[in-house]
Homo-oligomer: A and B are copies of this chain.
Amino acid sequence: MGVADESLHGAVLDKLGALVVAGEYATGQVLRIEQLEARFGVSRTVVREAVRVLASMGLVSSRRRVGVTVSPRASWNLFDPRVIRWRLDNGERESLLRSLGELRLGVEPVAAALAAAHATPEQCGRLTEAVMRMAVHGRAGDLESYLAADILFHRTLLEASGNDMFGGLSTVVAEVLAGRTHHRLMPAFPEPAAIRRHAEVAQAIQSGDAAEARRAMRDIVEEATRAMLGPGG
């Protein structure tokens, strides 16, 4: 799925990151490089590189004469897709999905409105294409292909906003969508209503109707969050 399989370093990074995020190591706890070498059965080089990356994500900090210290949550880079995945894989799934839902509620309707102004014909085409695939795979109950189409839709929309930073959120949104599917928070057959709303957004963007695009997009995010977290959410 990620970098993990490709290299030793990636595997260690993935395991160690997951452990930290899962709270296996308490905040402030110090790990020693040597210890980690033994734990994972790899060389110093590999451990150090993994630790460096974790440090760059704010999960740990490394100081001479002290060791590798687990950092408090506040300093984590919560927008790193790997951090999101590790968190989704671990317990606090529900509260994280709620947070991500609120974030999407702030971002995606605005992005949809901007997309209505900025989307190229080619991007409009891709949106329609994505909706079509969602419909086809949704009816067939092929959740994995449905997911791919859903991700394509949201990624295209965020890119079409013409705003780099919104575009940069596409990996975050993709993690949310993937997490929802892979943790069985999706019904076996996606709601036809959800697909219809996506079509509405695509249509509104194509005809340059910013207000309608915003509204339909808000509906999508609101409904998706509600469906995931239950009626009370």
Binding site for B on A (CB under 8 A): 9, 45, 48-49, 52-53, 56-57, 74, 76-81, 95-96, 99-100, 102-103, 105-107, 110-111, 114, 159, 163-169, 171
Contacts and interface: CB of A to CB of B under 8 A. Distances in A.
A25 to B, nearest CB: 19
Given A103-B107, A106-B110, A167 B49 contact: no
State the oligomeric state as a number of copies: 2
A164 B74 CA distance: 9
A99 B95 CA distance: 28
Contacts of A171: 77
A164 B45 contact: no
Nearest to A49: B52
Contact of A49 (B48, B103, B168, B169): B48
A80 B53 CA distance: 13
A128 B78 CA distance: 27
Contacts of A159: 74
Nearest to A164: B99
A123 to B, nearest CB: 14
Contact of A165 (B45, B78, B163): B78
Contact of A103 (B45, B57, B96, B166): B166
CB-CB nearest 3 A-B residue pairs: A78-B168, A79-B79, A106-B110
Given A76-B168, A77-B79, A79-B169, 19 more contacts: A45-B48, A49-B52, A53-B56, A74-B159, A77-B168, A78-B164, A78-B165, A78-B167, A79-B168, A95-B164, A96-B164, A99-B166, A100-B165, A102-B114, A103-B107, A106-B106, A106-B107, A106-B111, A107-B107
Contact of A102 (B57, B96, B165, B168): B165
B165 A103 contact: yes
A107 B163 CA distance: 14
Contacts of A168: 76-79
A47 B110 CA distance: 41
A110 B99 contact: no
Contacts of A163: 99, 102-103
Q: Which of A45, A79, A80 has the most CB of B within 10 A?
A: A79
A49 to B, nearest CB: 5
